[in-house]
Structure 1
Amino acid sequence: MERVYRHRPHEDVLAILLGASCAALGLALYHHAHILIGSTAGIALLVTYVTGWNFGPVFFFVNLPFYWLAWRRIGHHFTLKTFGAVALLSWISWMLPGWMEIGAVEPLFAALAGGSLIGLGVLFLFRHRGSLGGFNILAVYLQDRYGWPAGKVQMGLDGLIMLAAFFVLPVTNVLYSIVGTVVLGAILTINHRPGLYTGVSQS
């Protein structure tokens, strides 16, 4: 009988730290290049571009309505980990401008590198039964309930955000944003399929 490995609490904490940090760096590249991502991070970036508000607090508050679904449909362990990851990413994003200064960044590089960093961050969290909130919650729920690949679900929902981006950003920026979305979705599709990874978090 195959042994199922269960993540220990300190491993989950490390995954949240790594996942939130990778995603925060990727989002910093996106913000600097004025491009977009999907999910609630994309909504928060759109609000930031329109209003000039700081991304971190906006991202935190945009995610609040999704915790009810996570608690009811996926479980309190997932919800608490997701809340921790979102709060940590929001705080890092809020503090990051004081920690480092980003110079010129080509939008294509921001899309490729940023999308990869965010994808890796989300992958860390998915594999430890957490997420970055919003559409990530829906993607994990639909994969667990119906076996739909989380990456493909995420890409479909992200497409709706990209349509809204045409009303806020130049067309070229939206195209670069789509490139980054494809990179992120590909990382999740290849590395987070049902049955591919058997690690289970301890309750």
Structure 2
Amino acid sequence: MKKSKLYRRFRYLVRRRTRRFKLFRVLQSISKEKYDEKISASILYGFLSAVAVNFFFQPGHVYASGATGLSQIISALSSRFLGVNLPVSVTFYLINLPLMVLAWYQIGHKFTIFTFITVSMSSFFIQLVPEVTLTNDPIINALFGGVVLGAGIGFALRSNISSGGTDIVSLTIRKRTGKNVGSISLLVNGTIMLIAGVTFGWKYALYSMITIFVSSRVTDAVFTKQKRMQAMIITNHPEQVIKKIHTRLHRGATMIHGAEDTYNHEQKAVLITIITRAEYAEFKQIMQKTDPHAFVSVSDNVHILGRFVEEEN
């Protein structure tokens, strides 16, 4: 009996130490990346989302897309029907907490850690920034709120971080099924507009549609996550470049031997690889370190036929 208790205690301690060591390894791997850029983007997104919510959405009774819009709806309904003034920052955080648990187990640890930082920054700034009424015109509030929020989302995507919410659900389903699930975002946004219309009047649903449209257009203008780029590399050191592309970007490459420089008649190799816009900054670093004298041509927004995997971490 004593042996059994000791054995269970031993197994518990081993599992606990294993979890701690796993988290330590995740944090250690993050420290090797450009984490300062991602944290800066998280802070910027948090501030811009707070400006959008407290300067435009809340004063104009306009509702944003995704988790931000849901948190606004819950806050407004709790105040109207329950008499409880539930802050938008609190509801936004509560919506994202179970989703981050899902992301930790289904998407990836680094992704979850940076999402947690981004959500925390957004909640913090929404609570910190005071609510200011710049104008009572709901259309102006919808337009400018959409611009500010869309810019924040675009800058976040440029650093390959997520603002949480429906992104986590979509990425989880895509990882399990291999399909892009745009209907989730459509369903959530449709629900937000429906509740806004039924509860506060259909004109507010129309204003929210304006916000969602403008926000998505500005996000695309700042950064499009699905944008792919083709890089053609002419180099004297193909093996070193390929090794870094494989290990750092987890991308494949096609190598063409026997290319000749017509000026010096040197034999070179031509490498062709496809990367995402989010990986472009790291790709430039790889080329500067492995072969700063290589000739690199990058074509923007290329179309792909075939399997192309997007890294979620």
Q: TM-score, normalised by structure 2?
A: 0.55
The aligned amino acid for 1:36 is Y
User: Could you say which residue in structure 1 is the equivalent of 2:120?
Assistant: 87
Q: In the TM superposition, what is the alpha-carbon distance from 1:73 to its structure 2 partner?
A: 2.6
Letter in 1 for 2:126: S
Q: What SS does the aligned partner of 1:132 have?
A: coil
Report the RMSD for the aligned CA atoms in angstroms: 2.8
Between 1:88-97 and 1:134-143, the stretch displaced more is 134-143
Task: Quote the residue 2:74 is aligned against.
Answer: 47
Q: 1:154-188 deviations in whole A, cap 9, x for unaligned?
A: 34531232122223221111100111011122334
Deviation at 1:12, TM superposition (A): 0.9
Q: Determine whether 1:9 maps to 2:41.
A: no
| 1:35–1:176 CA contact under 8 A, matched in 2 | yes
For this pair of structures, how many residues does the alignment match? 195
Identity fraction in percent: 23
1: distance between equivalents of 2:213 and 2:127? 26
The one-letter amino acid paired with 2:157 is: F
Alignment pair present for 1:64 and 2:94: no
State the partner residue of 2:217: 186
**Structure 2: segments with no counterpart, 5+ residues:** 1-31, 80-84, 229-275, 283-312
**Equivalent of 2:153, from 122, 125, 142?**
122
Q: Which has the higher strand share?
A: 2
Q: What does the per-residue CA deviation read over 1:73-126, in whole Å, with 9 as the maximum and x for residues that have no partner?
A: 3211111111111111111111211xx733433211111111111111112222
Matches for 1:28-177 after TM superposition, within 5 Å: 28=54, 29-50=56-77, 51=79, 52-97=85-130, 101-141=132-172, 146=178, 148=180, 154-155=185-186, 157-177=188-208
Residue 144 of structure 2: SS of its match in structure 1?
Answer: helix
Q: Are residues 88 and 180 of structure 1, via their aligned partners in 2, closer, same or farther at CA, if it must alter by over 3 Å?
A: same
Residues 44-101 of structure 1: CA deviation (Å, up to 9, x unaligned)? 101211223211112111211111222123211111111111111111111211xx73
**Does the CA contact (< 8 Å) of 2:39 and 2:117 recur in 1?**
no
- Is the CA contact 1:154–1:185 (under 8 Å) kept in the aligned structure 2? no
Instruction: Name the residue aligned to 1:197.
Output: 277
How does the TM-score come out when normalised to structure 1? 0.82
1: CA distance between counterparts of 2:94 and 2:137?
Answer: 30
Ranges in structure 1 where 5+ consecutive residues have no aligned partner: 1-5
Aligned counterparts of 1:143 and 1:189: Cα–Cα separation in 2 = 21
Larger relative contact order (C-alpha < 8 A, sep ≥ 6)?
1
Q: Distance in 2 between matches of 1:46 and 1:26?
A: 15
Return closer, same or farther for 1:149/1:11 CA change in 2, 3 Å cut-off. farther
SS in 1 for 2:200: coil
